[in-house]
Amino acid sequence: MAHVSRTFTVTPPPAVVIDYLKDFSNAEEWDPGTESCTRTDAGPVVVGSTWHNTSKIAGVSTELTYTLEQLSADTIVLVGRNDSATSTDTITVVPSGEGSEITYHADLDMHGLANLASPAMKLVFEKLANDTEEQLTRVLESR
C-alpha cells in the first residue's frame, strides 16, 4: 500500500474549503492527476454521492468510481475503486487563524498482480502529493 500525507494552510475558512472539496467534480481543478471527474448521481452532494474519475499517473490512465463515504464539518473521505486498486482520500480541515489547516491523506491499495507495482507507486505518489498540495493551495487561494 502506498500512503502519503500533507498538511498545509490556506486563507479560506473551513466551511468554504469543505464545501468546495466535498464535490469531487472539482478534482479536475486541483488534482494534477485527474483528467476528468464526472458526477454519476444527482441531487445535493451527500454521503453516498458518486463520481467517475479518469486519472493519468506516470503516463498510465486509470478509471475509478469514487464514493463520498464520510462528510462532516471537518472531514471528507472519498474512496475510489476499480478491479486493480482502491484509493482512499481522507481530508481533514480545521481552523487556523482566519483560514484553514488542511491535512490530506491518500492511501492506494493495489489488488492482485497490480500489487507488485506498489513500491514504485510510493515514489510516484510522493511526487503527486507535492503537486497536489501546490495546485490545491493555488485553487483555494483564488476562491
Walk along the chain (143 residues) and give the pLDDT tens digit of each residue.
Answer: 778 999 999 999 999 999 999 999 999 999 999 999 999 999 999 999 999 999 987 787 899 999 999 999 999 999 999 998 999 999 999 999 999 999 999 998 877 644 445 566 666 778 888 889 999 999 999 98
Could you tell me the pTM of the whole model?
0.90
What contacts 24+ positions apart, CB below 8 Å, involve 48-55? 49/24, 51/24, 51/25, 51/27, 53/24, 53/27, 53/80, 55/31
Q: Please classify residue 80 by burial: count the beta carbons closer than 10 Å to its beta carbon, then call 0-12 exposed, 13-18 middle and 19+ buried.
A: buried
* Residues 6 or more apart whose Cβ sits within 8 Å of residue 73: 14, 15, 18
All three cell numbers of 16, joined, read: 468554504
